Amino acid sequence: MTGIGIHDIELVTTHDVLDLAALAEVRGVDPAKYEIGLGQTRMSVPAADEDVVTMGATAAARLLERTGTEGIRSLLFATETGVDQSKSGGMFIHGLLGLPSAMRVAEVKQACYAGTVALQSALGVIARNPEAKVLVVMSDIAKYELGGSGEPTQGAGAIAMLVSANPALVEIEPETGMFSADVDDFWRPNDSTTAVVDGALSLKAYLDALTGSWDDYLANGGHAIEEIDRFLYHQPFTKMARKGHRELAKYAGTALSEDTLEPSFIYNRELGNTYGASIYSALTSLLHHDEELAGKRIGFFSYGSGSTGEYFTGVVRADYREHIYVEPIQTELAARNTITFEEYAELHETVLPSSEDVETPRVTKAPYRFAGIRGGARQYEATA
């Protein structure tokens, strides 16, 4: 076995998109605040028949078309936009995709950090059995109150990744640093579809977790900062990654170039915040847009409010460019349906009661859709 890591990765988003310039106009804000101040251009908005399950199923289906399902005995679904308090969103994906019954399926949660919990768990499974492969799906919809300060940092997207021994893309190194602190910076009550956020506190908690997990990373045998060639950060909005990068440089007492961050911003500027999928969407963007990554070490800062941070590294495989698939996500981003502010506001305010049967309109062009609620249970179906 030559290492364990990310063998394949796929990024998916929604049918609809809102231009942040349109939001700025309605809110009476200078559009430069969103474009430059936050580093965001557009945000993905789920259609009435899309949710974290449909996005996750689409991402997983595209990936499995390439890899097949042989050897996959675990499906770990990471989200903070759970569709049920008990049943894993991964179970709906398992059913939609007709995956084998000899499979472990579960959902993990810790705000935007959950995807990394799933990835690290997958690495552990494979360390015990190098033949095993784990399908990790991260899918989220960032939703804040209409007109609130978090509104321009909403978004939606899903990542599917296959984690295996001898990975084709990125080998994840074993050294890792952790930091956790109980902070009331961001949470979503059980009876609310929107998150509650203290913006200033959430930025501080992010930076505290960055320096805390960096210290723990070094204390546990991590590489010196000079040995890290590229830096990825959780991106609730892309400017936050710049803030993190500047903080890390100051903390480590070194100068770090910001130019190498740019390729990791390209997709997230368009998607908005994808919570748990965000840092892996940034990884996808980096793999798709930086042609000089062969053999390079990437530093990952994964963060979830509330709060947990983890610092770890991965090394990109020499022939990674033969194993990236740029076309599906770039076609999807270009084909999104641009909605007006009024259409966005209506979608935002539509909340389906789980106690009444309802059918959703057919909107999405994705292969799977949320059909509605029957007998209190969520119904999903293939669109073709």
Close Cβ partners of 119 (under 8 Å, ≥ 6 residues apart): 6, 136, 161, 163, 172
Q: Is 235 in the site for ligand COA (CB under 6 A)?
A: no
SS (H, E, C) 219-244: HCCCCCHHHCCEEEECCCCHHHHHHH
Give yes or no for residue 37 binding ligand COA (CB under 6 A).
yes
Q: Which of 210, 201, 217, 252 is nearest to 235 (CA)?
A: 210
Q: Spell out the residues 6+ positions from residue 60 whose beta carbon is closer than 8 angstroms to its own.
A: 10, 75, 93, 97, 135, 137, 160
By CB under 6 A, is residue 106 in contact with ligand COA?
Answer: no
CB of 257 to ligand COA, least distance (A): 18
Residue 240 is a binding residue for ligand COA (CB under 6 A): yes
> Binder to ligand COA among 44, 274, 305, 313 (CB under 6 A)?
305
Question: Active site residue: 80, 151, 270, 310, which one?
Answer: 80
CB of 240 to ligand COA, least distance (A): 6
Residues 1-30 that bind ligand COA (CB under 6 A): 30
In the complex, the smallest distance separating the C-beta of residue 201 from ligand COA, rounded to whole angstroms, is: 9
> Does 180 contact ligand COA by CB under 6 A?
no
> Binding segment for ligand COA among 119-127, 149-157, 355-363, 372-380 (CB under 6 A)?
149-157
Tell whether residue 154 is a contact of ligand COA (CB under 6 A): no
Active-site residue identified among 7, 15, 94, 234 = 234
255 CB-contact burial (10 Å; exposed 0-12 / middle 13-18 / buried 19+): exposed
Other CB atoms within a 10 A radius of the CB of residue 137 amount to 31
Q: State the number of CA atoms in the 13 A half-sphere of 62 facing the CB.
A: 26
Query: What minimum distance in Å lies between the beta carbon of 154 and ligand COA?
Result: 9
Selected from 61, 64, 114, 197, the binder of ligand COA by CB under 6 A is 197
Q: How many CB atoms lie within 10 A of CB 313?
A: 23
Residue 299 within binding range of ligand COA, rule CB under 6 A: no
Told to judge if 112 belongs to the known catalytic residues of this protein, a careful annotator would answer yes
Query: Is 36 a residue that touches ligand COA (CB under 6 A)?
Result: yes
Q: Which residue has the tokens 């990437």?
A: 298
Going by C-alpha positions, the residue among 205, 236, 234 that lies closest to residue 38 is 236
Options 50, 112, 151, 171, the catalytic residue: 112
Handedness of CA 171, 123, 186, 195 (dihedral sign): positive
Residue nearest to ligand COA (CB): 37
| Residues β-bridged to residue 232 | 300
Q: Is 258 one of the binding residues for ligand COA (CB under 6 A)?
A: no
Interaction between residue 110 and ligand COA (CB under 6 A) = no
Closest CA to 311 of 124, 113, 48: 113
Give the total of residues touching ligand COA (CB under 6 A).
20
The span from the CA of 112 to the CA of 304, in Å, is 4
Residues within the interface to ligand COA (CB under 6 A):
30, 32-33, 36-38, 149-150, 152-153, 197, 199, 202-203, 206, 236-237, 239-240, 305
Active site residues: 80, 112, 234
